Amino acid sequence: MDAFQEKLKIKMNEYAHGVYNSSKKFPKDEIYGITSQIRRSSLSVVLNYIEGWARRKNLVRINFLEISYGSLQESKYLLRFCFEEKLMDEKEYEKLLVTAEEVGAMLWSEIKRLDNKK
């Protein structure tokens, strides 16, 4: 991985930890519902990115990066849902959303870069 890819991985890690820490405050009756779902989707962003970079072939790598991007979109919806359900406050929501948008822009540029190489 080069410096850009490492920076993206660090930003994804920050996002996953932010979502995880935020979800610790969710009601206990949501542990198998929204808490589990938002944690899994945010972790899937970074995990699929890492797995993609472990692959040799660009088309396979792109596939994993696209899965990562899809998981990011899922987790962004879940963030909004949690905010609307008052499971997180506006400041926390906005901070996580900004991080998600940064990750999305960086990830999409990486997908496009690899797509142009094929």
CATH of the domain at 29: 1.20.1440.60
pLDDT score at 116: 87
pLDDT tens-digit series, residues 15-42: 999 999 999 999 999 999 999 999 999 9
Contact, 99 vs 11, CB < 8 A? yes
Q: State pLDDT tens for residues 52-111.
A: 989 989 899 999 999 999 999 999 999 999 999 999 999 999 999 999 999 999 999 999
- Structural domain total, the chain: 1
Contact between 9 and 68 (Cβ < 8 Å): no
Range of the domain at 51: 3-117
pTM: 0.94
